[in-house]
């Protein structure tokens, strides 16, 4: 598994469904560079079970993210038509109607591959035929990208394990606290708590006080 933290987020251009219904055939993250943070997260499949719980959980906090200058972007290996169809289905029927952030269609699986969250392996057999070992969908990868387009945090969950939106928010707050104050965030730091100076004296003072 590649570690992208500290590196430029891989560029992509793909079709996305915006605001639950509009198709943007040339969606990319470039529109946010220099202006917004991005929380880019992958999910395995449309019309599944854990995935809608995550999508709705992120949607429920979208204004909190936007107050912090963060845009949400979701990606799966489904088609844009599949995204659109799922967006028309009500929540009480397992759908994701009401999701307004972009859903990117990674139909050729290159985005998931470049972020190294694609499950399974593909190879050519002795007859030159393309084969796949396991289903090629995305793990539950999440990437916090700063305004310069650099990945500052990543986490990847296996398919059965849903993510914690509060933890994603905490990481946004921690990054912005560091950028503003120049202080680092110790274990279990939360917004409103003090940070510490990145020095032996700073650590000693923090540990003594806590």
pTM over 0.85: yes
The total number of structural domains in the chain stands at: 2
Cα atoms in the 13 Å half-sphere on the side-chain side of 97: 9
Residues designated as active site: 51
Q: Which residue has the tokens 């992958």?
A: 42
Closest CA to 104 of 40, 17, 199: 17
Q: Are residues 18 and 82 in the same domain?
A: yes
Instruction: Answer whether 96's CB lies under 8 Å from 55's CB.
Output: yes
Domain presence at residue 37: yes
Q: Are residues 154 and 173 in the same domain?
A: no
Rounded to the nearest 5 degrees, what angle is found at the Cα of 180, between the Cα atoms of 179 and 181?
Answer: 100
Q: For every one of its 210 residues, what pLDDT tens digit does the chain have, with 9 covering 90 and above?
A: 689 999 999 999 999 999 999 999 999 999 999 999 999 999 999 999 999 999 999 999 999 999 999 999 999 999 999 999 999 999 999 999 999 999 999 999 999 999 999 998 888 888 888 788 888 999 999 999 999 999 999 999 999 999 999 999 999 999 999 999 999 999 999 999 989 888 877 776 777 777
Query: Cα–Cα distance between 176 and 25 in angstroms, integer?
Result: 32
Domain presence at residue 115: yes
Q: Are residues 148 and 186 in the same domain?
A: no
- pLDDT at residue 1 in the model: 62
Q: Are residues 123 and 151 in the same domain?
A: yes
Cβ contacts of 177 within 8 Å, gap of 6 or more: 183, 185, 189, 191, 195
Domain presence at residue 1: no
Q: Are residues 144 and 199 in the same domain?
A: no
Q: Are residues 156 and 175 in the same domain?
A: no
CA 30 to chain CA centroid, Å, is 16
- pLDDT at residue 169 in the model: 98
- Count Cβ atoms below 10 Å from residue 17 Cβ, excluding itself: 25
Q: Are residues 101 and 118 in the same domain?
A: yes
Query: Cα–Cα distance between 179 and 182 in angstroms, integer?
Result: 6
3-state helix, strand, coil in the chain (%, to 5): 30, 25, 45
Domain presence at residue 9: no
- Full residue range of the structural domain in which residue 108 is found: 14-162
Q: Are residues 118 and 168 in the same domain?
A: no
Q: Which residues pair with 143 in a beta bridge?
A: 40, 154
CB burial of 124-160 (b: ≥16 within 10 Å; e: otherwise) equals eeeeeeeeeeeeebbbbbbbbbbeebebbbbebbebe
Q: Are residues 66 and 81 in the same domain?
A: yes
Q: Which residue has the tokens 């274990």?
A: 187
Instruction: Answer whether 138's CB lies under 8 Å from 117's CB.
Output: yes
Domain presence at residue 4: no
Q: Are residues 179 and 135 in the same domain?
A: no
Gyration radius (Cα) of the chain, Å: 19
Q: For residue 207, give Cα distances in angstroms to 58, 143, 178, 200.
A: 34, 30, 19, 11
Domain presence at residue 5: no
């Amino acid at each position: 598994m590649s570690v992208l933290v500290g590196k430029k987020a891989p560029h992509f251009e793909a079709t996305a469904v915006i605001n639950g219904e509009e198709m943007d055939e040339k969606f990319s993250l470039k529109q946010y560079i220099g202006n917004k943070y991005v929380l880019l997260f992958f999910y395995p499949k449309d019309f599944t079970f854990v995935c809608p719980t995550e999508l709705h959980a992120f949607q429920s906090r979208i204004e909190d993210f936007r107050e912090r200058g963060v845009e949400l972007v979701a990606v799966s290996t489904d088609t844009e038509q599949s995204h659109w169809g799922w967006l028309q289905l009500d929540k009480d029927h397992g759908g994701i109607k009401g999701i307004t952030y972009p859903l990117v269609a990674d139909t050729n699986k290159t985005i998931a591959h470049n972020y190294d969250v694609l499950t399974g392996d593909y190879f050519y057999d002795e007859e030159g035929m393309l084969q796949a070992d396991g289903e090629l969908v995305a793990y539950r990868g999440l990437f916090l990208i700063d305004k310069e387009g650099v990945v500052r945090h990543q986490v990847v969950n296996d398919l059965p394990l849903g993510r914690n939106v509060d933890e994603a928010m905490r990481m946004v707050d921690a990054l912005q606290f560091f950028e503003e104050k120049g202080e680092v965030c110790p274990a279990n730091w939360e917004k409103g708590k003090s940070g510490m100076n990145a020095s032996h004296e700073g650590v000693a003072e923090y540990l003594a006080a806590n």
